[in-house]
Amino acid sequence: MGYDKSIAAFKEAYEVIPGGVDSPVRAFSGVEGTPPFIDHGKGGYLYDIDGNRYIDFVQSWGPLIFGHCDSDIEAAVIEAAKKGLSFGAPTTVETELAKEIVDLFESIDKVRFVSSGTEAVMSAIRLARGVTGRDDIVKFTGCYHGHSDSLLVQAGSGAATFGNPSSPGVPADLTKHTLLATYNDIESVKQCFADSKEGVACVIIEPIAGNMGLVPAEESFLQELRELCDANGALLIFDEVMSGFRASLKGAQGITAVKPDMVTLGKVIGAGMPVGAFGASREIMSHLSPEGPVYQAGTLSGNPVAMAAGLTSLRKLKSNPSVYVDLGNKAKRLMEGFKSAADAVGVPMVTDVRGSMFGFFFSDKPVKNFADAMENDQKMFAKFHKGMLDRGVYLACSSFETGFISTATTDEMIDDAIKAAYETLGEVSK
């Protein structure tokens, strides 16, 4: 494949945009080559400005569960846009989407919409601190909850790709209230509670981590977290910005029996538009302004075009929940194919699937936490990524990210991707 136009576009972007991109991982710094500049998407495919076509397993990092340019969502967006792009005032579509979410999640009585996952998590943390009157929070090394100051500590995702798990510009006075625990290790969480001098306001976790690669939390670990939070008066927050409506119709909460106190959501509820949300019980949400003293606001929160897109997407999912069976089967078949291709040339690989989410590591042992993820062969991943891209398969450009299947992903696409994996691994393993 040729990338001449993308290479030129990247150079031009670099002159006016830091690193040439508006989100760090897109710069392809963790893999080989130059990022393709996308012209358009259709169904399960992406098309770049050089005319190359790719099977898309990124799907805008999760939200496009129905693929690119779904006709129903497209029609809803066009109709909403004809009425106006933004009002900064209430609309009924916000209430409609909120009702759909409340109906699905046992732990949510009320929900507040925002414009991004970062904003949702930042607001949920503030609310948890306001409810408990405590400052300390517990997060897990390798879990990424957006780039707000108190959470950009030992994060995964793009920060891990760049080997810089924290960031300059984050005040020590803020991070001193962020206690770090090890994913799937309850003793490390107990130590955080013991180390907290002022008391822990909340524990925030991706119940299905998607930002150190796909690393699900063990059920027993989530149960122990729930018990520990209850015993210490702390709130348990599930960050389901990525797994919500992806792992199942109810996200991780359709898989685990553990009920969190608060949930953050994003991705699919915007169907590709910028949307985030956080929700909890009526009692907890009553502390939020204008009902309570904890302040949170946003001019574009509940944007009518984004709400229309999300409402259409969510109603399509609710009307056909069996779609998750098909998505899960395709994800499993893809990962079985990748594993077989790796086995054929003696390259170590471990894989995992949760609903329409999939992940793989070039590793010879199960990955249960960030330290395990960091041991995976990142150089092999970089070579594999480049080989797959050259063969028309668009994978996440970091070994610390998760892949996604859409309803537009066909069996033929899965077969083509597996064939490309055999060819690529046969080439890069020599």
Residues 6+ apart with CB under 8 A from 430: none
DSSP classification of residue 127: H
Which residue, chain included where needed, has tokens 């409810």?
131
Q: Is 192 within 8 Å of 177 (Cβ atoms)?
A: no
DSSP classification of residue 30: T
SS (H, E, C) 337-371: HHHHHHHHCCCCCEEEEECCEEEEECCCCCCCCHH
Cα–Cα distance measured from residue 210 to residue 357, given in angstroms and rounded to the nearest whole number: 9
Cα–Cα distance measured from residue 335 to residue 358, given in angstroms and rounded to the nearest whole number: 7
Q: Is 279 within 8 Å of 262 (Cβ atoms)?
A: yes
Cα–Cα distance measured from residue 90 to residue 371, given in angstroms and rounded to the nearest whole number: 45
Catalytic residue, candidates 267, 330, 368, 383: 267
Rounded to 5 degrees, φ, ψ at 120 are -65, -45
For helices 71-83 and 304-319, what crossing angle results, to 10°? 150
Q: How many CA atoms lie within 13 A of 1 on its CB side?
A: 25
H/E stretch holding 180: strand 178-181
Q: Is 326 a catalytic residue?
A: no
Q: Is 144 within 8 Å of 159 (Cβ atoms)?
A: yes
Query: 290: cis peptide before it, omega within 30°?
Result: yes
Measure CA 46 to chain center: 20
Q: Is 267 a catalytic residue?
A: yes
Which residue, chain included where needed, has tokens 């709400």?
307
What are the start-end ranges of the H helices in 233-377? Answer: 282-285, 304-319, 323-344, 370-374
Task: Give the Cβ contact number of residue 340 at 10 Å.
Answer: 14
Catalytic residue, candidates 3, 45, 54, 144: 144
Which residue, chain included where needed, has tokens 């985030």?
276
Catalytic residue, candidates 48, 56, 136, 239: 239
Residues acting as catalytic residues: 144, 239, 267
